[in-house]
Structure formats: structure tokens, C-alpha cells
């Protein structure tokens, strides 16, 4: 068989080869026409299990069920969202139905009307919808924060979640940039928290004077502060926790009140404000089951402006995502636990994109909130919480790291390009390829920041000799969905190798397997007709024995 000649230097571990070389083969789907097929995924750095009970810290949050809120209906009782046609005589309609304008979002062409009084709101909406000058009228649906109650929990370290997404390795490449602005559209952010004050830029309060005794973007609930800490708490300051980004600009936008309740109008207005004031990425750890045209228009407004929206799938354990996560122009995020299983509460479905750690997540909270049992607060200023709300800022934070590194190289990334980078570097979980439980998989911070896309992976068959690895097949690329097909390798049983070279041409490690590359090898030789899957693992060891690949 004639082949192109390949020659480069490879390093393999002298000891504990199995730590970085993993693989499996089976005899299912045999093909006797000379193929070896399989699936490749990028694996995150393995997280060691908790070793003993004495190393576990017992924790308990003060978070209570959000059901204790006095909000009983799923919509704002005295408000209707109306979209008028451009030619509409709005004053005439307002006079006819004895309504007044409470708020407007001119970029979306919608107005919030009030003055319903004792009238049946659904009948009134039907009458307004029948007006020729009205595009649509609808309830102003309630949106809730996506955190769930946490009871006693046990963990040996407070931020093991970062290890699960290979974040420490990613920090070797980028720690973020203040030139990247992330809007946290939530309950606000504690403006005086010592681990956040240096990261904040101008924000706003969309809730305003509706029920609020503390106007401004300051957080009177704690949820938004917890989310913000994950994205970008100050790091290496000797205090508190580390954020996914050490350097970042956090934009606090308060759209939920002190009980964690808001509505589609406040969320939509918050999105528009963020876009108009320079946000690059928007984190939405909120959600509703209401598919609202106004909210969708706000999401599309951000997308068209090149702003990436990352949203929580929801905490109902259902096979459907909450909005805005269900919209195609968002990146939707579910939660996993430390066993890499879907969290029991995490919503899933056909439009789920990624998963990230969402259980027992330690982050910043205001230290002195009082008056509401469902607030997230602790005298120390830090607390544990669960929810897709906590998983989402992991993805937001990694997206910000990707954008920071791209801009440092003189590039910018659209929402689709950011999503593509996350997709092609995620660790596949569950069924092979994208599935409804985990989407495209668990984000891999290092692979994403390093641009270690699965499509850069090379795969080949080889035989180890006294002189090196002798090629027994062509070298081919892995497809975007992680599959490969080695055609007509030499007859016999050979190891299958897979490798992503992250060194650039001219660098010392170029065209050789070394520290900082992703690498895998089957645990045993493979024969023709086998389906063979591999997990590419980041090489972190220095002491490799040089092996040459020869034709």
C-alpha cells in the first residue's frame, strides 16, 4: 500500500501509561471490508473521588424553597404586554380600554399596560388581540431564578467543580480580560462584596420602584451575587474564592426583586439595556415556561448585535427547557453532579446544548441580608447552592475566557463561533454524540481556550517496535461529530492512536506528542472490523520517553 511518509517525534509516559492512554474496543458492528471505526471525545482532567469522611466539610445553606414567595400566580396581575402596529392610534386604544402605559421597550416595539382593575385579564387580552392595530397582547409572565434548595452537603474542597471542567489547566493559557464585559441579568450583584467590587462596571435596576425599597443594581436576594462570583470573583487576592475569570468586567442588571421574582418585561428590558451598553456576553440564570414573543425578540436583538446569551435550562427535572434557554439563539445549559450524571433537577431535551457542574457550588453572597427566609446570605459572604443557575455561569465564564484569548490575538467571535468552540471541545457524556440528557456534553475549559477542537485530532494504527511506532495505516482526521473511519489498514492487530498537536509550526513541540497535547491509545491491539472508541486526555507529565513514528 502506498502512503504518504510521516515522520515526527512522539513522547510516551515512562510510567503509568494508562493514566493518559485510554481506549476500548468491542466486536459490535463488525465490518469485514477493512475498516476500523469508532468515536473520539475530549476528556476533562479526572476528578479524584472523596477519600474519607474526615476530609469532608458539612455545609448547610440558608436558602429556603422559593415556594415561600407570596407570588401565587404565574403572571403579573395588573399588567398586559402589547405590541402595537406602527400605524396604531395608541391613545385611542388606551382610552377605549381605560388602560395606561407603565413601561416601554422601544427597541422591541412593546409596551406594558396597566389599569386592569377587577376586569378579567384574559378576556381583556382577547379583546386587545382582536384589535386591527395590535400585533399581539399577552400576559406578563413571571420569571424565577433557577436555584434549588440545598440541605446538608459534604465535600473535601469548596471548588472541586473547577477541576471537573479542566479550569486550572485553562488558566495557564488565559485568566480573562477586563475588555470582556459579561452582563449578569438577575437579582443584581452585591456592590460592596470584597471579592467582586474590583470587577464591576456600570449597571442598572430595571425593577425600579415596583416593590423595591433599595433602588439600584445592588443585590437584595443573593442569587445574582452567587452567579457573579462563579463568573468572575477576584482571584489571587488571598480572600474568598476564585472566579472562572480572574480579570473581567461584570455588569449588574437587576431584573428580579428581593424575592427572586421578575417577569418577561423586566428580563427583556434588561437584555436590551445590556446590549445597548456594551455587554459581550449575557448570563441568564432565570427562566419561565412561557414562550413569549417579546422575550424572543429581545434574545434575537442581542444575537443580531453579536452578543452571546447563555441561559439555564431549568430545575424541574423535565424533558423541556425553560425560556429563554429554549430559544435557538441562546446557549442552553443543564447541570451535572460529580459523578458526571445529570442532576435530578436539571431540565433536558432536544435543544439542550451543554452541561456543567451545578451541585454544591461555593460562591459569593451578600453578608447581611435580613427579612426574607429565601434570601441567599451568610455572615462570611460565601455559601453553597445548587441549580442550573450555578451551572450556567461556568459556561458563561469559559466563553468569556475564550473571547479574551481570541481578542488578545486580534480576533473577535460571534455567538455562533463561541458556541462552535464549546461544541467541538466538549467532553461527550451519555450516548455517543449529542443527546438530550447532556447536549453536546460537559464543557472543557482548557480544550476550549486552547482551541483543541476534535476536528484537529489525528488518528492512525501503529505497531510499537524497538525503534519506535511503525505506521500501519494512513493518518486521518476525526470528524466534527467525533467519529472516524480508518480504511484499509494493514492486516493484523494494531494499537489505535489519536492525538491533537497544540504546538504551532516552528515551536519546539511541533509534530511530536508532548506535554500540553491531547493523546490516547487503545489499551490493547485492535483487529479489522472492530468499533474502537477513545478518550483524548491532556498530557500534563514532563518525563516522557521519546519514540519515533516511522513508515
Does position 194 have pLDDT exceeding 80, yes or no?
Answer: yes
Q: What pLDDT score was predicted for residue 329? A: 97
Q: What integer is the mean pLDDT of 378-389? A: 89
Does position 402 have pLDDT exceeding 80, yes or no?
Answer: yes
Q: What pLDDT score was predicted for residue 147? A: 54
pLDDT single digits (tens) 463-489: 877 766 788 888 889 999 999 888 877
Is 389 among the catalytic positions? yes
Does position 11 have pLDDT exceeding 60, yes or no?
Answer: no
On whether the CB atoms of residues 540 and 519 are closer than 8 A, the answer is no
Cα separation, 444 vs 436, in Å, equals 19
Residue 398 zone, left/alpha/beta (φ > 0; ψ -120 to 50; rest): alpha
Q: What pLDDT score was predicted for residue 215? A: 64
Task: Report the percentage of the chain scoring pLDDT > 90.
Answer: 54
Main-chain phi, psi angles of 293, to 5 degrees: -55, -40
Q: What pLDDT score was predicted for residue 549? A: 63
pLDDT single digits (tens) 351-374: 999 999 999 899 999 988 866 656
> What beta strand segments (E) does 294-444 contain?
308-312, 331-336, 354-357, 361-364, 382-385
Q: What pLDDT score was predicted for residue 526? A: 84
Closest residue by Cα to residue 16 from 541, 378, 395: 541
- Cell triple for residue 271? 437584555
Cα separation, 367 vs 197, in Å, equals 14
On whether the CB atoms of residues 188 and 262 are closer than 8 A, the answer is no
Where is 266: in which H helix or E strand? helix 264-276
Structure letter (DSSP) for residue 199:
G
Which of 42-46, 254-258, 495-499 is predicted with the least confidence, judged by mean pLDDT?
42-46
pLDDT single digits (tens) 494-519: 888 898 988 877 776 777 777 888 98
Options 223, 226, 394, 446, the catalytic residue:
223
Q: What pLDDT score was predicted for residue 494? A: 86
- C-alpha distances in angstroms, 440 versus 106, 333, 433? 36, 10, 7
Q: Domains plus CATH for the chain?
A: 8-43+451-550 (2.60.40.1120), 150-443 (3.40.50.200)
Cα separation, 288 vs 292, in Å, equals 9
Q: In 3-state terms, what secondary structure has residue 274?
A: helix
Q: What integer is the mean pLDDT of 62-85? A: 65
> What beta strand segments (E) does 158-225 contain?
176-186, 204-205
pLDDT single digits (tens) 419-468: 999 999 999 999 999 999 999 999 999 999 999 999 999 998 888 777 66
Confidence band for 29, pLDDT divided at 50, 70 and 90 = very low
Q: If you average pLDDT over every residue of the chain, what do you get?
A: 82
- Cell triple for residue 527? 483487529
The most confident of 67-76, 89-98, 269-278, by mean pLDDT:
269-278
- C-alpha distances in angstroms, 166 versus 2, 162, 185, 207? 41, 7, 26, 37
Confidence band for 72, pLDDT divided at 50, 70 and 90 = low
Q: What pLDDT score was predicted for residue 62? A: 29
Options 166, 174, 177, 186, the catalytic residue:
186
**Bigger pLDDT: 467 or 35?**
35
Q: What pLDDT score was predicted for residue 305? A: 97
Q: What pLDDT score was predicted for residue 24? A: 45
Options 226, 389, 394, 533, the catalytic residue:
389
Q: What pLDDT score was predicted for residue 323? A: 96
pLDDT single digits (tens) 115-130: 999 899 999 999 999 9
Q: What integer is the mean pLDDT of 222-232? A: 95
Residue 503: HSE in the Cβ half-sphere, 13 Å Cα cutoff: 18
Is 226 among the catalytic positions? no
Is 186 among the catalytic positions? yes
Amino acid at each position: 500500500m502506498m502512503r504518504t511518509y510521516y515522520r515526527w517525534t512522539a513522547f510516551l509516559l515512562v510510567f503509568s501509561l494508562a493514566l493518559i492512554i485510554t481506549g476500548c474496543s468491542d466486536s459490535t458492528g463488525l465490518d469485514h471490508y477493512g475498516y476500523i471505526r469508532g468515536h473520539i471525545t475530549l476528556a476533562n482532567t479526572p476528578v479524584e473521588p472523596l477519600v474519607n469522611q474526615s476530609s469532608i466539610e458539612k455545609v448547610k445553606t440558608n436558602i429556603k424553597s422559593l415556594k415561600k414567595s407570596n407570588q401565587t400566580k404565574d403572571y403579573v396581575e395588573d399588567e398586559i404586554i402589547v405590541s402595537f402596529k406602527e400605524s396604531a392610534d395608541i391613545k385611542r386604544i388606551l382610552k377605549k380600554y381605560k388602560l395606561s402605559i407603565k413601561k416601554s421597550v422601544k427597541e422591541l416595539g412593546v409596551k406594558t399596560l396597566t389599569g386592569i382593575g377587577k376586569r378579567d385579564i384574559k378576556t381583556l387580552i382577547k379583546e386587545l388581540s382582536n384589535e386591527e392595530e395590535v400585533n399581539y397582547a399577552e400576559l406578563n409572565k413571571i420569571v424565577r431564578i433557577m436555584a434549588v434548595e440545598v440541605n446538608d452537603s459534604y465535600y473535601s474542597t469548596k471548588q472541586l467543580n473547577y477541576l471537573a471542567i479542566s479550569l486550572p489547566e485553562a488558566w495557564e493559557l488565559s485568566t480573562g480580560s477586563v475588555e470582556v464585559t459579561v452582563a449578569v441579568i438577575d437579582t443584581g450583584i452585591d456592590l460592596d462584596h470584597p471579592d467582586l467590587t474590583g470587577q464591576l462596571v456600570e449597571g442598572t435596576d430595571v425593577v425600579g420602584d415596583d416593590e423595591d425599597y433599595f433602588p439600584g443594581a445592588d443585590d437584595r436576594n443573593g442569587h445574582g451575587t452567587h452567579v457573579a462570583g462563579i463568573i468572575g470573583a477576584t482571584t489571587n487576592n488571598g480572600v474568598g474564592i476564585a472566579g472562572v475569570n480572574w480579570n473581567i468586567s461584570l455588569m449588574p442588571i437587576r431584573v428580579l426583586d428581593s424575592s427572586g421574582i421578575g417577569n418577561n418585561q423586566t428580563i427583556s428590558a434588561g437584555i436590551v439595556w445590556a446590549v445597548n451598553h456594551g455587554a459581550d456576553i449575557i448570563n441568564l440564570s432565570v427562566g419561565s415556561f412561557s414562550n413569549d414573543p417579546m422575550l424572543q425578540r429581545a434574545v434575537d436583538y442581542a444575537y443580531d448585535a453579536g452578543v452571546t446569551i447563555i441561559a439555564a435550562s431549568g430545575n424541574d427535572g423535565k424533558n423541556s427547557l425553560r425560556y429563554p434557554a429554549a430559544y435557538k439563539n441562546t446557549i442552553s445549559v443543564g447541570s451535572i453532579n460529580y459523578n458526571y450524571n445529570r442532576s435530578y433537577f436539571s431540565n433536558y431535551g432536544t435543544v439542550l446544548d451543554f452541561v456543567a457542574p451545578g451541585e454544591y457550588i461555593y460562591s459569593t453572597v451578600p453578608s447581611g441580608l435580613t427579612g426574607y427566609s429565601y434570601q441567599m446570605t451568610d455572615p462570611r459572604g460565601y455559601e453553597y447552592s445548587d441549580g442550573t443557575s450555578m451551572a450556567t455561569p461556568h459556561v458563561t465564564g469559559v466563553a468569556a475566557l475564550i473571547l479574551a484569548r481570541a481578542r488578545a490575538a486580534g480576533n473577535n467571535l460571534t455567538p455562533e463561533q463561541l458556541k462552535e468552540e464549546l461544541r467541538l471541545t466538549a467532553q461527550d457524556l451519555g450516548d455517543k454524540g449529542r443527546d438530550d440528557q447532556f447536549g453536546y456534553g460537559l464543557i472543557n475549559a482548557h480544550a476550549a481556550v486552547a482551541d483543541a477542537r476534535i476536528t484537529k485530532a489525528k488518528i492512525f494504527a501503529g505497531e510499537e517496535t524497538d525503534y519506535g511506532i511503525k505506521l500501519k495505516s494512513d493518518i486521518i482526521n476525526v470528524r466534527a461529530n467525533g467519529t472516524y473511519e480508518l480504511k484499509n489498514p494493514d492486516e493484523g492487530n494494531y494499537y489505535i492512536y489519536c492525538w491533537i498537536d497544540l504546538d504551532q509550526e516552528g515551536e519546539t513541540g511541533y509534530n511530536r506528542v508532548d506535554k500540553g497535547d491531547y493523546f490516547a491509545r487503545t489499551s490493547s491491539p485492535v483487529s479489522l472490523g472492530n468499533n474502537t472508541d477513545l478518550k483524548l486526555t491532556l498530557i500534563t507529565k514532563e518525563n516522557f520517553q521519546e519514540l519515533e513514528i516511522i513508515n
